[in-house]
Amino acid sequence: MLTRSQLSNLLEQHAQPSYRVNQILDWIYKKRVHSWEGMSNLPSELRESLSADFPLRPLSHVLTKGSRDTTRKFLLKLADGRYVETVLIPASPALYGETSDRHTLCVSSQVGCAYGCKFCASGLDGFTRNLTAAEIVSQILLVEELSGEKVNNLVFMGMGEPLANFENLCQALEIITAHWGLGIGARRITVSTSGLVPQIKKLAELSQQIRLAISLHGPNDETRSQIMPVNRKYPVADLFDALEVWNSKKNQKITLEYILIDGINSHIDHARELVQRAKSIRAKVNLIPYNTVEGLPWVRPTDQDCLSFKKVLTNGGISATLRLEKGHDIDAACGQLRLKKEQGTL
Ligand code: SF4
């Protein structure tokens, strides 16, 4: 999957006229052909030579799991035999605090993950490799084809830490937002990170008005480090400095993601501290009751405790949502489906 400038350079090397660029972009991103052979207005030698080097579908469909509320999870196989997961959420009121017609796709950015957040199955098996830009974009193309739905909202919250795959993420974002590409508005794209401080500052320099979500899960170093090892490298104060930088460049509210884990980060004092943190960067908060992960010891608080936590935030003037459960019955915590497949238990 190529950007306009990459394709243009490539075609120059093949001594092709410049109008081929638009022809090919149109075939790939608008007409959605699966192979170079299908591009009937290109010379056959060119098709043959490009198809050897640039496969148009670098991943294939393995299985789909759908839950009662119609969230669907797709297990996709990469050319090297690895697996990634992509989740389609037809409407996501709890993510946005409103009823919407959004078709949200949650995409993966890496195979496995090196960051080892303690609530997450993706980190259980370590990091394997970055996804290419083509593999990121192809998740959208393939799911649109399989589901018949047009994806109009995108979240980088699947497997992997997107900011640890920075160059490929930026290339994918270019293709996804471009009018010659998928044409999804930057404001409908959220990149979620565990809090890589240097990359947050770098991402703030992108001209696109994408949204940023932070996996916070603890309002102070002591609590957050128990849940997210990355906090030892980038402590909360440094993270919030980087978020100030983000705010100075973008006019989108940051979202703080906060998984509520019983006895770990769900005390009312945590909620009070979270109010101060969120206020300092004018962020909204997305509360997610912990989803049980096989092999991990934590449990979710009661619904009443979750509601009480939320109440402290809203009373403190923070816009907060308590996410309705989605996909609980399809191993929707990121990485679980892929892990089962690779361990041969699926
Ligand atoms: S939550 Fe994200 S960054 Fe943390 S281990 Fe899972 S995939 Fe990696």
pLDDT in tens, 194-206: 999 999 999 999 9
> Does ligand 1 come within 6 angstroms of the Cβ of 193?
no
DSSP code of 220? S
Give which of 204, 227, 130, 115 is closest to 169, Cα–Cα. 130
The dihedral built from the CA positions of residue 226, 227, 233 and 236, taken in this order, carries a sign that is negative
Judge if the beta carbon of residue 115 lies within 6 A of ligand 1: yes
Instruction: Give pLDDT tens digits for 252-266.
Output: 899 999 999 999 999
- Establish whether 85 is a catalytic residue: yes
CB atoms inside a 10 Å sphere around CB 298: 17
CA of 295 to the centre of ligand 1 (A): 16
Q: What is the pLDDT of residues 277-335, one digit of tens each?
A: 999 999 999 998 887 777 778 888 999 999 999 999 999 999 999 975 544 444 444 55
> What is the atom index within ligand 1 of the atom nearest the CA of 192?
2
Q: Does ligand 1 have an atom closer than 6 angstroms to the CB of 155?
A: no
Among 113, 120, 306, 334, the one annotated catalytic: 334
Residues of the chain with CATH 3.20.20.70: 71-342
Can 306 be counted among the known catalytic residues? no
| pTM for this model (two decimals) | 0.90
3-state helix, strand and coil shares in percent for the chain, rounded to the nearest 5:
40, 20, 40
Q: What are phi and psi of 319, to 5 degrees?
A: -75, 120
Q: Where in the chain is the domain with CATH 1.10.150?
A: 4-53
CATH number of 71-342: 3.20.20.70
CATH architecture, domain defined by 4-53: Orthogonal Bundle (1.10)
